[in-house]
Amino acid sequence: DAGITQSPRHKVTETGTPVTLRCHQTENHRYMYWYRQDPGHGLRLIHYSYGVKDTDKGEVSDGYSVSRSKTEDFLLTLESATSSQTSVYFCAISASNYGYTFGSGTRLTVV
Amino acid sequence: AQRVTQPEKLLSVFKGAPVELKCNYSYSGSPELFWYVQYSRQRLQLLLRHISRESIKGFTADLNKGETSFHLKKPFAQEEDSAMYYCALRANRGGSQGNLIFGKGTKLSVKP
């Protein structure tokens, strides 16, 4: 067990609907991240958190919001899903002197 | 600006052949470099980080600051090495943690 879980694993939603993805960790790490993975683009940072209620934008934050009310949970919300947000979303956690540990990903399809 | 470049989208080799996955970076300070691997439809896993100078699954990578490169090498490729490989950079900010910046990835295909 990598100490990080994402839910749901797969989701299909309609354009214009709100969607929330959840990342849960059991490692008590301070840092949490949301990335999206797209062919030809690699991984791009959406938002990250450096503590409870402390979040900041990444490279591709438009159309996304996040919340972190507890150390263990980091939520990614698409307020009004668009087809361009069809992607695989990865959450990651980090201790300060090591690389990231990634979740298994959420495959989101917006139709 | 910090940037990671992986010039090859796809690298195809035969089993037993040497492999070199290229990674170049752009950063004026002292970076931390990593290699991540993603097997088909699985999570990304840390393969190597430059500061540990270790060899994992036969892979090695040396940070060359003069050429700003961190190429991943393996002398004899195996079929199970087929995967997506990502190079990543993290800027050191004197105590505060920078975020990981990823390259676009190289898909390695090892043929029998």
d(CA B28, CA B12): 32
Mean of pLDDT values over A6-26: 97
Output the DSSP codes for B64-102.
Answer: BTTTTB--EEESS--GGG-EEEEEEEEEEETTEEEEEEE
Mean of pLDDT values over A99-110: 93
What is the span of the domain harbouring residue A90? Answer: 4-110
| Percent of the residues in chain A that have a pLDDT greater than 70, as a whole number | 95
d(CA B87, CA A99): 12
Among all residues of chain B, which has the CA nearest to that of A4? B43
CATH number, position A48: 2.60.40.10
User: Residue B97: its pLDDT value, please?
Assistant: 61
Q: Tell me the per-residue pLDDT of A19-65, one tens digit each, with 9 for 90 and over.
A: 999 999 999 999 999 999 998 899 999 999 999 999 999 989 999 99
The Cα-based distances of A109 to A19, A75, A81, B49 in angstroms read 11, 18, 9, 33
User: Residue B93: its pLDDT value, please?
Assistant: 58
Q: Tell me the per-residue pLDDT of B45-83, one tens digit each, with 9 for 90 and over.
A: 999 888 777 778 899 998 898 999 999 999 999 999 999
3-state helix, strand, coil split of chain B in percent (to 5) is 5, 55, 40
Spatial neighbors of A58 by CB under 8 A, at least 6 apart, are: A33, A34, A35, A44, A45, A46, A47, A48, B99
User: Residue A1: its pLDDT value, please?
Assistant: 56
Counting the structural domains of chain A, the total is: 1
Minimum distance, in Å, between the CA of residue B94 and any CA atom of chain A: 12
Among all residues of chain A, which has the CA nearest to that of B85? A42
Domains of chain B and any CATH numbers? 3-111 (2.60.40.10)
Minimum distance, in Å, between the CA of residue A43 and any CA atom of chain B: 6
Residue B79: what are its φ and ψ, rounded to 5°?
-60, -35
For residue B96, pLDDT beyond 60: no
